[in-house]
């Protein structure tokens, strides 16, 4: 977590250009893929996460957290929260 405005802005505009570690980049790539179309997530995506240091528990946590945010944002959008 960071409060660095430049990093926050880079993550919001184009995370692929943000100054993050390789591990963070792989995690972000995974989360974006999961968010866009979870049916396209394959074993090789999990293997890539393992290659940069994530274990199975961490992969599960990343998946659960990203999925929960996707879910709750859709619920909020459908109910007009914040409009």
Q: What percent of the chain has pLDDT over 90?
A: 86
CATH classification of the domain holding 24:
1.20.1290.10
DSSP-assigned letter for residue 81? T
Residue 3 pLDDT greater than 80, yes or no: no
Total structural domains within the chain: 1
pLDDT of amino acid 4? 87
Question: Which residue from 27, 19, 16, 33 is spatially nearest to 53, judged by alpha carbons?
Answer: 27
Residue 64 pLDDT greater than 70, yes or no: yes
Question: Which residue from 78, 83, 73 is spatially nearest to 35, judged by alpha carbons?
Answer: 73
pLDDT tens string 24-46: 999 999 999 999 999 999 999 99
Structural domain that includes position 55: 5-79
């Amino acid at each position: 977590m960071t409060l660095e405005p430049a990093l926050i802005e880079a993550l919001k505009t184009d995370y692929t250009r943000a100054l993050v570690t390789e591990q963070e980049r792989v995690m972000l790539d995974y989360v974006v893929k999961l968010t866009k179309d979870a049916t396209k997530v394959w074993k090789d995506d999990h293997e890539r996460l393992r290659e940069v240091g994530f274990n199975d528990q961490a992969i599960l946590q990343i998946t659960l957290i990203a999925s929960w945010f996707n879910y709750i944002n859709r619920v909020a959008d459908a109910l007009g929260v914040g409009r």
